[in-house]
Structures are given as structure tokens and as C-alpha cells.
Chains A and B, each alone.
Chain A
């Protein structure tokens, strides 16, 4: 039986063989692999792109102090983007399951409607959650819009929840019992992180500080965005740095949310603020890379 890391190696190899760049995780906190610039920005515009990477994804509200066998503050996603999506994309995806040792003739596979939407990113797509023997093992999405912009080429996004998938493959009831290597269990690698970040997110994070940080990052992003128009040499303009501020805001929003500091009404407003930043960055990125395309888009 494959270890956690062997399964990851096999998936990366599989997608590498199908023309994907194998990227490493992005180094700013994100809630999902979709938020990495490798997805969020690369799906914009008319240039084909294929990439796969593992992205540790933080969901503060899902933290359970490492006590719940299936809930994690941080989990690992394996994210694949094929832009544009090939006609046999589902067969390719099913091939990836066979590549990690799943005999599809012996398992029950269903594609259940699950349309993905990220209001903070102004992004949405159409797709499914892929269910294997009653377990959601993959989120499959055809992106339609990102940063409020209709996409020229429709990418397929395949997101494997690695802990769940490997727990399934290894027959484990708790993700903490997963064999990360032959010698080391998942818990030994990650339990402390789960505990400490849960304590921080639920008990110790200072709401006032988080709000101030949110506003600082928001202002920095706004300042940059406002300077874009008059900036002389566009190719030098730090759109990517502006996008990092968006990611910071998004993570702070998630932390504030976990802390119970955001009400239902406020939520809509704060999400709108982050979306506005994301939409601004998407527009700049498209303009910087494809000036003509951005004009048409406007």
C-alpha cells in the first residue's frame, strides 16, 4: 500500500506525463489551491496552461485541535489545471485514480452536481464532487469566470483532497493514522500544528489586531491598484505583489470568521471588499499580459 507521499509522487508523475508543469506550493497562506496565482491568474486570458501542485490550505474554522479524526485546520490539496480542458478530461481524471491503485471496476463512482463559487475571488464554475464509495474524493470544476471576468478558454480544475483520498486508500478511520512514510504517521508530522493553530484561531487571535491588519493589507492593495493606470512601464508593475495583499486579506477574513467576529450582514460587506481587490488585480494582470484582451473584456 502506498504511503501518503508515494501517492502524491504518483499523481504528480501522472499529470507531469500529461504535459503539466509541476509547481511547488505557494508561500502565502491560502484557503484553497484555487487561490494561488498559478490558478487564479493563469486561467485568465487566451494562453493555454497546464499545471499541478500540492497546496497546503488553511481553513481556520475547520480546526478541531487535532481531536477530530477527519477535520483539519490545514489540509493538503493536489490541484490540477488543464487550460483549455481536453475533450477526454474525465477519462484522464479516471486514469489518475487507476494510477494510484484504484480498480474502477470494483468501486462505486458517482459525479454529483456541485458548482463551485468563490465570492471573495469573483470566481465560479460548474462541476461535480466525485464520490467514491460514498466518499468525496475530488472536486471537479469547469471554470467560467475568475475575478469577475469571463474566461476565454475554459479550464478544468481537478482538486484532490489528499488526506481523505489517502485515508480511503490506506483504509484508515482517522487522517492522523495515515502512513506519511513507512515509519512516520501523519499525526507525528502535523498534530502539533493542528492543536496550536486551533488554539490561536478560536481562543487567542486578537480581533482588533486582525481587523487592523486586514485594513492595512487592503489599503496597500488599493494604493497599488490606484497607481497602475499612470505607471509608465507596465511590465514592471508589481501586480503579483498586489495579489499577495488580496490573499492576506482573504486569510484574515477566514480567521475573523473562525473567531465569530463577522456577522451575517457584515460578511457580505467584507467579502465584497476582498472581491473588489481581487477583481482589480485580475483586471491589471490581464491588461499587463494581454493588453488587447483586457480592452475587449471591459
Chain B
């Protein structure tokens, strides 16, 4: 059977850069699946995209769909025929499949005998099948946000579709989407050559390259990287590599060409954070450093055009950057007219939340919380000044830099380094992967800030529910947990929640999330450790690490199962007498006395290691009790007829349970026993 390559290109007005790669991937999969389902064969040659096109080329696509035969089974034989005559069920089945009852046959299957029919579908010419299928498939490509353009209720797509190329061999596949008929003309680069150019599957990639479009994303990436290294060669400069920015630029261009621009070295007196933010986020430039990692007065912009022979593009970008830096310098100088310390009062005019008052109110509370948590003078000072940068022009312009700007200003205005650094860091961690503040003062202020927000919002009923969390309280609580654990601050959650049970539970929930999803501990280990106390989160972390280490050892899970048994026995006996002394005289010689002796021997050792926070050794010792416990349950009847003996046994078990459940409540461990 003869085959031919299939080329499909969807020509679109500029697609948002971050949506292109996922759309290409979907399109490739959808076309491949469609070809298989339509029995048209096809082998993927290439699929890729640029801002203005998504395309795929499949080789060996059949020109004629083969005939198909399909076995359709219907009702059971018994229901289809009564006394050898077809019933309504059989006739219905035949009608549904467009055949006469006589054409039905009986098919034997593992489940019994059923009525069945062999249906033949005659293959059609590929171009009709493809036309119909591709027309239906294109609007199904998923984009996060779509639009209509042909009128209300018209086709939706990411941006207007302006042309479609669909060629099977030399023939156009006939179809249309949104009033655009498929053909063989494509639109090349907007400013590099022609308005339209004819293509086919064989010359598509080269023809477009001739007219200024590099259709392969990987090649554009390579052009950017090679271009950058050529620009910097021999200059002693390094581009700050930034994978996300590179990806953005690959999909913002059809013919990428990097250029090196410069700015006045005088701007380097502005903080690096500000300069980099301007270059990276506002201008999509790579910043450049000298050999020692210091920012150099250069930048790399990536053009969507081949050359800049007259330097117009470079000059234009330099002028824009100069304006941006001038803005920043203007903000910096304007902001220095009033020190942070003089701005505290201004915070009365900046509302934090209608019911929780202004940022001045928040600041006062924040200072209070810092004191409450035992902060030093530097932490208190940092708390007092921490929100003042909200009144500065720099932060109004670069909102991402709040806190950072405050820290930089504090340093420039002669505040203590500890104060400046704490302000700089106090919004950290910005994500679960991000670092916590680098100093003790910073941790405390960051913690207090989040705690104040949580307490305030919970007090006025702004509690997150479902996906609704407008004040990002989950993130705040997550930050609290991360700071506590990673800075080693042991402040009980109850104290942070200040008596709000709902908030305490909310924080505890974040503790679980943190250890499970961020740190990767098993849920039952987390439950076991938290059940044994969670006032000291750094300690929770250490106990968890120990459990995780000891768990795979042979004795651990069986012992956990035994502890669960002990707990059940005590509950069933409604036993309340734990903690009392075990009467040695009442112990039966053998397994019971052996367990009691082993326990007495272990408890002091365990306590010693626990005291040193050597939880692994302590747990290993506890696990070593397993054979004695097993033997005890094997040989000894807890519910002894003699009440005193029984009580004594329960006391022994209760003591073991209490004593050894301080690191973790083993009964929470899910075992296979």
C-alpha cells in the first residue's frame, strides 16, 4: 500500500512562550493516536513549535485506509433465541448493527455463548479521513486560557489561527478551522523575507530557515547558548545562566540572536538585587559577571531577528535599561530622604487588613510577639522597622523585593548589621524549597510576623477552607514550621497559637505536611512521633529520622505490633494503674520475670540515650526487647485468675508502654502483623 508523509502546521498569532512546548507535546500525541485509530499507520519524524506555529511531520501515512473487520458481541444465546426463533433482543442487536438477523452467528467465549456479528468497514481515501479528523482535533489542543475571535460562540484557541498547512504527499488535506482553509502556504518570520512561502514535508524545515524561522526549539536554544559564548569570548565575562529565562527566550523567538549591551558602571552602586531584578524580570536579560562573580556593567538580550548591524537594537535596549535603572536610582535616592525609622508612623496610613488595622498596628503587635518569643534588642528593632519599606517607592515598583529593600536601606542608614539582615530575610522562606533566614534574629522576626498574621486572621474568622486561602495562611504556617524545624527553635505550637485550638490544629496539620510531603517521611512514622509529643519540632525531626533508620531492622515492626497489643489489652481491662511499682514477688518465674528484668535493665539505658538525644540507640535498645515480649505473650496469661497477679502484670505492661512511648507511639506504626 502506498504511503506519503503528512505535514500539519497550525499558524497562530504569537502564543505565550510557556504554553508552546506542552501544546506541541499534546499535538504530537493527538495526531499519532488519531493515525493509529484510523488505521493510517504513520511514523513521527518531527514535532515542534515557535511562537507562531505548532507543527508535526509523520512519515509513512497510508493513502488509503485499509478495510476493517470488527467482531461485535451482543446478548447471550439463551436470551437471543427462544425455540430456535430470534427474540426481540436479537432483532434489536441486529438492527443496531445494521445487519439482518440471519447474519448473526453464535460466538463461544469463556463466559458462555453469545450472539455476535462480524462488521466490515470499508476503508476510505486518507485525505477525507484526515481532513475530518484534523479539523476536529485542532480545537481540542488544551491551553490554560483561550479566546474566541470569530464572534460569540466561535472556535476557542490560544490566539487567532491565521493559516493552516496540511499536506499529505503533494496533496492538500481539505478542511477548515475557524474559517481558515488548509493549504500549503506558511507565513515565515514577520520581518525576514516574505509574507508567505509554499512548503512541503520535505523542504519545510529548510524553507522556513531560509526565511528566518528556526522551527526546532532545541536548535534555537543552541543558537542562544553559542551566541552568548561567542559574545563573551576573551572578555573575562560570564553570563549568569538561568534555565527558566533561557526557556522563555527559546519560545519568544523564531530566530534568536543574542547581543551584548552595556550600562554605565556607576549604576553598580545600586544593590545587585535591584539590578538583577530589573534585568531578569522586567527586561528578560541575562546578567553578566566578571571572573570573580561580581556583577559587570553588561547584559545579554536575545533578539528575534538575525542581526543588529547599526547597533539600533543594542542602543534601544541600553536606553530602556538606563531608564529602568534611573527609576531605581531615583527611587533609592528619593527613599533615602526619610529613614526607615522615620517611616514607622506612616504605616498608620497603610492598611494591613480592615479588621486587623494598619501596618502600624501590625508592627506594634509584631514587636510584642518578638518580645513574647524571647527576641533580643536587635530582633525587636528589626521588627519595628520591618514593614517600613512598604512606604518606599522602591517597593511600590519592585514588590518582589519587599523585605530585601528594607534590609538594604537599614544597612545604608547605619542600623546594626543584625537588624538589617533580619529585615532583609523576614519574608523567608518564600517557598518550601527556599532557605530560612540566615540569622537567629531573622528567624525570630520572620516567625513572629507569620504568627501574628495567623493569629489575627484566625481571630476574625479568616480561616482557609478548601482552595480558598486569600491571605496565604497555609504558606505562612508552612513557613513557621520550616523555620522552627530548620533553625532548631523549640517553641510549642500551643504557645504560638496562643490558646486558639483551631490555629493549633492548623499548624499541626502543616507539621504533618512538612514531614510527610516536604521531608518524605512515611505517614505512620509521622503520626507515631507526633503522638508522642510535638512541643519541640526540631526534636520531632530527630525522632523521625531515628524511627526511619531503625524501622527496617528485624525487631522493630514486630515490637510495634506488640505495643499495639499491649495498648488494646490495657484498654480492654480499663486499666488505670500505670506508673505504679511492679511487685517482684508476684512475678511468675520464666518469661514474665524475664521480661520484667529485661525492662528494668533497659529502661535506665534507654533513658540515658534518650537524654542525649541519641534516639537511634534508644530505639535499637527498645527493639531488642522484642524476644522477651514475644515469649511473654506466648507463655503467660495476662488475665490471671488471681486479681493481684493480674494487676501486677498489667502494671508491668503499662510501664513498658509508657516508658517506651516517649520517642514515638509505636501503636501508630502500621505493621503487617
Listed in ascending order, the chain A residues whose CB lies under 8 Å from chain B are 61, 64, 67-71, 84-85, 87, 90, 94, 104-113, 115, 125-126, 128, 132-135, 142, 144, 150-154, 168, 171, 173, 259-266
Chain B residues contacting A87 (CB-CB under 8 Å) are: 160, 162
B312 to chain A: closest CB distance in Å?
Answer: 5
B417 at the interface (CB under 8 A from A): no
Stretch of B121-129, B313-321, B379-387 that contacts chain A: B313-321
Q: Which residue of chain B lies nearest to A114 when distances are taken between CB atoms in the complex?
A: B16
B616 to chain A: closest CB distance in Å?
Answer: 48
A151 touches B152 (CB 8 A): yes
A263 touches B351 (CB 8 A): yes
Chain B residues contacting A111 (CB-CB under 8 Å) are: 13-14, 51
Chain B residues contacting A264 (CB-CB under 8 Å) are: 351-353
Query: Which residue, B14, B145, B253, B354, has most C-beta atoms of chain A within 10 A?
Result: B14
Instruction: List 13 additional contacts besides A71-B327, A126-B145, A260-B350; criterion CB under 8 Å.
Output: A64-B393, A70-B327, A87-B160, A90-B13, A104-B190, A109-B190, A109-B304, A110-B14, A110-B253, A133-B315, A135-B320, A260-B351, A260-B391
B151 at the interface (CB under 8 A from A): yes
Chain B residues contacting A263 (CB-CB under 8 Å) are: 350-354
Q: Which residue of chain A lies nearest to B153 when distances are taken between CB atoms in the complex?
A: A150
Q: Do A154 and B149 form a contact, CB below 8 Å, given A133-B316, A173-B326?
A: yes
Contact of A108 among B151, B285, B310, B313 (CB under 8 A): B313
Contact of A173 among B147, B303, B319, B391 (CB under 8 A): B319
Chain A residues contacting B353 (CB-CB under 8 Å) are: 263-265
B190 touches A94 (CB 8 A): yes
CA A266 – CA B354 in complex, angstroms? 7
18 A-B pairs (CB sep. < 8 Å): A67-B330, A105-B191, A105-B305, A106-B312, A107-B313, A110-B252, A111-B14, A112-B14, A125-B147, A128-B14, A142-B147, A153-B152, A171-B319, A259-B349, A260-B391, A263-B351, A264-B353, A266-B351
Contact with A along B592-620 (1 / 0, CB 8 A): 00000000000000000000000000000
Chain A residues contacting B192 (CB-CB under 8 Å) are: 105
Chain A residues contacting B391 (CB-CB under 8 Å) are: 260
B151 touches A153 (CB 8 A): yes
CA A90 – CA B309 in complex, angstroms? 26
B159 at the interface (CB under 8 A from A): yes
B463 to chain A: closest CB distance in Å?
Answer: 15
Chain A residues contacting B317 (CB-CB under 8 Å) are: 108, 133-134
A144 touches B147 (CB 8 A): yes
- The 3 A-B residue pairs with the shortest CB-CB distance in the complex, in nearest-first order: A263-B351, A133-B316, A113-B16
A102 to chain B: closest CB distance in Å?
Answer: 10
Chain A residues contacting B14 (CB-CB under 8 Å) are: 110-113, 128
B493 at the interface (CB under 8 A from A): no
Within 8 A of A (CB), among B144-176: 145-152, 159-160, 162
Chain B residues contacting A261 (CB-CB under 8 Å) are: 349
Q: Do A134 and B190 form a contact, CB below 8 Å, given A107-B316, A262-B351, A264-B353?
A: no
Query: Which residue, B149, B301, B315, B317, has most C-beta atoms of chain A within 10 A?
Result: B149
Chain B residues contacting A126 (CB-CB under 8 Å) are: 145-147, 159
B99 at the interface (CB under 8 A from A): no
A116 to chain B: closest CB distance in Å?
Answer: 12
A153 to chain B: closest CB distance in Å?
Answer: 6
B29 at the interface (CB under 8 A from A): no
- Residues of chain B at interface, number, CB under 8 A: 53
B177 to chain A: closest CB distance in Å?
Answer: 14
B213 to chain A: closest CB distance in Å?
Answer: 14
B191 touches A109 (CB 8 A): yes
Chain B residues contacting A265 (CB-CB under 8 Å) are: 351, 353-354
B364 at the interface (CB under 8 A from A): no
Chain A residues contacting B252 (CB-CB under 8 Å) are: 110, 112
Q: Do A173 and B304 form a contact, CB below 8 Å, given A113-B16, A133-B312, A134-B283?
A: no
Q: Which residue of chain A lies nearest to B16 when distances are taken between CB atoms in the complex?
A: A113
Contact with A along B10-29 (1 / 0, CB 8 A): 00011011000000000000
Q: Which residue of chain A lies nearest to B162 when distances are taken between CB atoms in the complex?
A: A87
Query: Which residue, A64, A107, A115, A260, has most C-beta atoms of chain B within 10 A?
Result: A260
A204 to chain B: closest CB distance in Å?
Answer: 14
Q: Which residue of chain B lies nearest to A149 when distances are taken between CB atoms in the complex?
A: B152
Chain B residues contacting A64 (CB-CB under 8 Å) are: 330, 393
B522 at the interface (CB under 8 A from A): no
Chain A residues contacting B315 (CB-CB under 8 Å) are: 133
CA A85 – CA B160 in complex, angstroms? 11
CA A76 – CA B163 in complex, angstroms? 36
Listed in ascending order, the chain B residues whose CB lies under 8 Å from chain A are 13-14, 16-17, 51, 145-152, 159-160, 162, 190-192, 252-253, 283, 285, 301, 303-305, 308-310, 312-313, 315-317, 319-323, 326-327, 330, 334, 349-354, 391, 393, 396
Q: Do A134 and B320 form a contact, CB below 8 Å, given A70-B326, A144-B148?
A: yes
B249 to chain A: closest CB distance in Å?
Answer: 10
A90 to chain B: closest CB distance in Å?
Answer: 6
Q: Which residue of chain A lies nearest to B326 when distances are taken between CB atoms in the complex?
A: A69
A133 touches B253 (CB 8 A): no
Chain B residues contacting A171 (CB-CB under 8 Å) are: 319
CA A40 – CA B559 in complex, angstroms? 74
Q: Do A132 and B159 form a contact, CB below 8 Å, given A110-B304, A144-B147?
A: no
CA A263 – CA B348 in complex, angstroms? 11
A152 touches B13 (CB 8 A): no
CA A151 – CA B320 in complex, angstroms? 36
Chain A residues contacting B334 (CB-CB under 8 Å) are: 67
B236 to chain A: closest CB distance in Å?
Answer: 25
A142 to chain B: closest CB distance in Å?
Answer: 6
A133 touches B313 (CB 8 A): yes
Chain A residues contacting B17 (CB-CB under 8 Å) are: 112-113
CA A266 – CA B357 in complex, angstroms? 11
Q: Do A173 and B253 form a contact, CB below 8 Å, given A126-B159, A264-B351?
A: no
CA A206 – CA B51 in complex, angstroms? 49
Contact of A260 among B145, B147, B349 (CB under 8 A): B349
Contact of B322 among A71, A132, A173 (CB under 8 A): A173
Q: Which residue of chain A lies nearest to B283 when distances are taken between CB atoms in the complex?
A: A134
CA A111 – CA B189 in complex, angstroms? 13
Chain B residues contacting A259 (CB-CB under 8 Å) are: 349
Chain A residues contacting B151 (CB-CB under 8 Å) are: 84, 152-154
CA A64 – CA B14 in complex, angstroms? 35
Q: Which residue of chain A lies nearest to B312 when distances are taken between CB atoms in the complex?
A: A106
B325 to chain A: closest CB distance in Å?
Answer: 11
CA A264 – CA B362 in complex, angstroms? 14
B323 touches A69 (CB 8 A): yes
Chain B residues contacting A262 (CB-CB under 8 Å) are: 351
CA A80 – CA B334 in complex, angstroms? 37
Query: Which residue, A85, A135, A150, A261, has most C-beta atoms of chain B within 10 A?
Result: A135
Chain A residues contacting B51 (CB-CB under 8 Å) are: 111
Chain B residues contacting A113 (CB-CB under 8 Å) are: 14, 16-17
A119 to chain B: closest CB distance in Å?
Answer: 15
CA A263 – CA B354 in complex, angstroms? 7
Query: Which residue, A94, A108, A133, has most C-beta atoms of chain B within 10 A?
Result: A108
Query: Which residue, A106, A112, A144, has most C-beta atoms of chain B within 10 A?
Result: A106
Chain B residues contacting A266 (CB-CB under 8 Å) are: 351, 354
A68 to chain B: closest CB distance in Å?
Answer: 5
Contact of B191 among A104, A115, A135, A153 (CB under 8 A): A104
Query: Which residue, B51, B308, B313, B321, has most C-beta atoms of chain A within 10 A?
Result: B313
Chain A residues contacting B150 (CB-CB under 8 Å) are: 154
Chain B residues contacting A106 (CB-CB under 8 Å) are: 308-310, 312-313
CA A84 – CA B150 in complex, angstroms? 8
CA A266 – CA B352 in complex, angstroms? 10
Chain B residues contacting A69 (CB-CB under 8 Å) are: 323, 326-327, 330
Chain B residues contacting A108 (CB-CB under 8 Å) are: 301, 303-305, 308, 313, 316-317
A134 touches B147 (CB 8 A): no
CA A29 – CA B391 in complex, angstroms? 27
CA A85 – CA B13 in complex, angstroms? 13
Chain A residues contacting B301 (CB-CB under 8 Å) are: 108, 134
